[in-house]
Structure 1
Amino acid sequence: MQRNPFDDIEELFERMSRSFEETGLARMQDISLDVVEADGDIEVVADLPGYDKDDIDVTVRGRQLTISAEREESTDVDDEHYVRRERRHRSVSRSVTLPAEVKRDEVSASYHNGVLTVTLPKLEAEPDDSHRIDIE
């Protein structure tokens, strides 16, 4: 079976990313998440407190899952003399490479109490149908 050279590059990027996270050189991630791989599914659980379901966008492209959320804080105060205002607008995004191909049409997501759960059924791997070629 022939290895895909891009798998090695992807693994290198993942190791570099983990290294930055472990040494504290990476910026703090906006979305904390867990990725769990079971027999038939991949489950991604992400913390998104303070967002409404309609503020969250989940997309899958190939083996890349992207979760993004955006909210606008509005106040109806006529006399706005803020000393400090940090709650105006917040936008977060996180992409993660999935450990396997998934059935995109069967992906489901739920959001309860600030926790987003995305269930991605794995695409069954096709048997190796490679054919050896004799060299003349």
Structure 2
Amino acid sequence: MRRNPFEEFEEMIDRMSQQFDQSGMSTLETVPIDMQDHGDEYEVIADLPGFASDDIELTFSEGTLHLDASREEETEEGSEEAGRYIHRERRESVSRSIRVPEPVDEDGITASFNNGALTIRLPKEEADEGHTIDIS
């Protein structure tokens, strides 16, 4: 009896995904974001459905916003074996790094989380007027 070619293709994709996961390389999963420039600040909105605000860690360093989210794996209560996934796309952890094009006021960064959407506001740093250089 011949196997379904679609099953073979899905198995191949699953094997490739597992190899990427084991190598530490990113697969197709990522945190989708929108980034807008509002003149005096940048606004980043990231979609994190299924995560709680306590699951999210947000850091900013050297002009890059780092977003990490992780949650406990869901298992069926009362069962030692939760079952075998047929198809799986929802991840227990995701991360994303976003380079910000201009310097921002790190102390003024704020974030809010509502209905699976994380909104981060990054106020731009005041432009330095420069200074006079004495010539000797």
TM-score, normalization by structure 2: 0.68
Listed as ranges, the gaps of 5+ residues in structure 1 are 1-25
Q: How many residues get paired?
A: 109
Aligned-residue Cα RMSD (Å) equals 2.6
- Kindly name which structure, 1 or 2, has the bigger radius of gyration based on alpha carbons: 2
- Between the aligned partners of 1:78 and 1:27, the Cα distance in structure 2 is 30
User: CA offsets per residue over residues 8-51 of structure 1, 9 Å max, x none?
Assistant: xxxxxxxxxxxxxxxxxx84251010111112111000011100
- Between the aligned partners of 1:87 and 1:72, the Cα distance in structure 2 is 15
- Between the aligned partners of 1:116 and 1:71, the Cα distance in structure 2 is 16
Q: Which of 97, 101, 107 is 1:95 aligned to?
A: 97
Listed as ranges, the gaps of 5+ residues in structure 2 are 1-25
Match status 1:114 vs 2:116: yes
- AA aligned to 2:58 is V
- Between the aligned partners of 2:50 and 2:125, the Cα distance in structure 1 is 33
SS of the aligned residue for 2:122 comes to strand
Q: Percent identity?
A: 37
Match status 1:125 vs 2:127: yes
- AA aligned to 1:118 is I
- Between the aligned partners of 1:88 and 1:42, the Cα distance in structure 2 is 29
Matches within 5 A, 1:53-68: 53-68=53-68
User: CA offsets per residue over residues 44-79 of structure 1, 9 Å max, x none?
Assistant: 000111000000011111211011100112432335
User: CA offsets per residue over residues 73-131 of structure 1, 9 Å max, x none?
Assistant: 24323352613275896111100110211111111100011100000111011023364
